[in-house]
Structure formats: structure tokens, C-alpha cells
Amino acid sequence: MAGQSPGFSFYSLGYANISMRILLFFFLLLGCAQAQLLSNQSLGRERGVEVRQWTYRSHGMAVRGLLFVPPVAAGSKKPVVIFSHDGINGISKEHRLSSLRLANAGFVVFAPSYRGEDGSDGMVEVAKGEVEDVLEAIKLMDQVPEADADRIALAGASHGALISFLAAARNAEVKAVVAAYGVMDIYRWWDYLSRAGKIGGDEVTRRTYGDGPESRPHSFAIRNAVAVANRINCPVLVLQGKKDDIVPWEQASYIEAALKKAGKNCQVELYPDCLHGFLVYAPYLHDVTRAERAQTERSWRTMLDFLHKHV
């Protein structure tokens, strides 16, 4: 049962009475119950893909997301990719276009709007509550007739990459993870930002990280992907630009080393001319170099091949 510790027993809580034990069992079972879809609104078709806006329950909050459903032959189902966006400002136009591209490649795609975004309840927590939102979204996939809920991959860009990795570490049924330019070793990333003078002074950064690891040890510990590499039970693809000055390319090598040390399946692809955000934004921006555009297209082919192979 989800959330149950290995040493858990009804008697460890002192419940000797059988009726109390049964009551506790059903109380705990509620935590594993089917996720609740609050609304499912069709937004029409875009590029041949049906788009639906979802609102669903996540730990007492109503959060939103977009479901992209490609044409599906009668009696068949498509594998699922939960595609988590970058940043903390909701689903961008480019992420929506990238989700449509994934759907047209043969996947049912769900793009979550994290808590505090796009009309969702709550506030941005940066790879904390957002992980819970993705885990709840996974539970909803068996309510989509076109989706094969037994074949789910998690993919994410930047903030979404960390969210996807942390979520996969908590759900052994995930079949594959794609992490594009995500922070994988948060302590080394913080050191890099400190040396480069790039630590933001905005409210979200201050609330999340304070003055650094010493002032917010728990905040850093729960967001450190390399620390949970041993809990990943599926292949991982890491996509990273070598010209990234927000999440430096060495972050890819840190997670590669952690996964290989744990005996996990990891593929790292480095793109020498790509900046931060290339996977989602480079195909749609005008001021992208020819080299970055070509390498971005290569990264898409690599990602699609990886997803088709593993889900």
C-alpha cells in the first residue's frame, strides 16, 4: 500500500480490537483510492489532436492540466507521456506545441499545470507539491479510454525534468523518464549559481532556498535527484545542451554517474550548440542558430525513439 512503511502493522499502533483494525484499514485505503477527475472539458482539435482541459484533485487542491489525445483506432490504446513544463508560470505556447508534437508521434500526452499556475489552487512549491500533482495525474490515466495506463513515461524540461525524475523515484510502474536540462545535483547547482552571481532574489527563490543549504537543509535534500537515483526502476534519457548557462552541462554527468553507480539504465545525450530550453523553444524561435536548430531536431528524434522503445 502506498505510503506504508516496511515495519507497519496494525498492532504497532496499539489497535487490539478487530473492528478498530478494520476501520483503520479502510481509512488507509482511501489514500490509495482512484484519483478524482473534477472536470474534463474538450477544447476542440489542434493539428489533428483532441485537446481537453482537466481539473483534478491533488492532495485537497484542484489543479489543472491539458490532455492531448491523438487519433486512436477502435479497440486500441496509445502509451502515455506525462510531459512536465519548464519554469513556474504555467504551460507556455511552446510547451503546448511540443505536447501536440508528442501526441502526433503516437502518445496520449498530459501536460500538468502545477499548483498555483493556470488557475490551479495553491502556490508554486518548486519540485515539491508539483511532484504530488504528477503522481496524482498518473492515477487518472486509467480513466482515459484511449490511453494504455500500463505504459506511462514521464518527460520534463528544466523544472519539469526534476519533477519527473523525483516522481519516477516514487512510482515503480513508470516505464521511462526523459529529463531535459534539469537540476540533478542541487548542491552543486547552488554552488555554480553562487560563483556565477546568478542566484535570484525573487520571492519564490527566497521562499524555497533561503540563503542556501545550511539555512534550508530540508528544502535542498528533498529536491536532490542524485540522492534518489537508486529508486529509479526504468530507463532514463538525459538531454543537455553544452552552452546552457542556467543548468550547466555537468549536471547531466552527475546524474549519469549516480544512476550507473546504482546499476540503472541511463543514456545521456549532449548537444554542443544548445542553450537552456532548446527542446521546447528552439523549434519555434526565430533567433536560433542553424546548429542549435539541427541539434534540437536530433534531440527530438532521440527522445521519440527512446519513448517508442520503452513504452
76 contact partners, CB below 8 Å, separation of at least 6: none
Q: Residue 241: is it exposed, middle or buried by C-beta count within 10 angstroms (0-12/13-18/19+)?
A: buried
Residue 278 has pLDDT above 90, yes or no: yes
Name the E strands within 89-136.
108-113
User: Which of the four pLDDT bands, split at 50, 70 and 90, describes residue 75?
Assistant: confident
* Look-up of cell digits 520534463: 156
Q: Which helix (H) or strand (E) holds 67?
A: strand 61-69
Q: Would you put residue 212 in left (φ > 0), alpha (ψ -120 to 50) or beta?
A: left
Q: What is the mean pLDDT of the chain?
A: 90
pLDDT tier, 233 (very low <50, low <70, confident <90, very high otherwise)? very high
Q: What is the pTM of this model?
A: 0.89
pLDDT beyond 90 at 19:
no
51 Cβ partners below 8 Å, 6+ apart? 42, 43, 44, 45, 66, 67, 68, 69, 100
The mean pLDDT of 293-307, rounded to a whole number, is: 98
Give me the amino acid identity at 67: L
Domains, the chain, ordered by start: 38-185+224-310 (3.40.50.1820)
CA-CA-CA-CA torsion sign (51, 52, 58, 60): positive
The dihedral over CA atoms of 150, 112, 126, 2, expressed in degrees to the nearest 10, equals -30
Q: Rounded to an integer, what distance in angstroms lies between the CA atom of residue 80 and that of residue 78?
A: 6
| pLDDT for 23 beyond 70 | no
8 Å CB contact between 42 and 67 = no
Alpha-carbon distances of 176 from 20, 30, 150, 294, 311, rounded to whole Å: 41, 28, 12, 25, 7
Please report, rounded to a whole number, the percentage of residues in the chain having pLDDT higher than 70: 89
Cβ atoms of 162 and 184 closer than 8 Å: yes
Q: What's the pLDDT at 79? A: 98
Mean pLDDT of 264-292: 97
For residue 9, pLDDT beyond 80:
no
Amino acid at 187: Y
Q: pLDDT tens digit string along 62-74?
A: 999 999 999 999 8
Crossing angle of the two packed helices 186-196 and 250-261, in degrees rounded to 10: 160
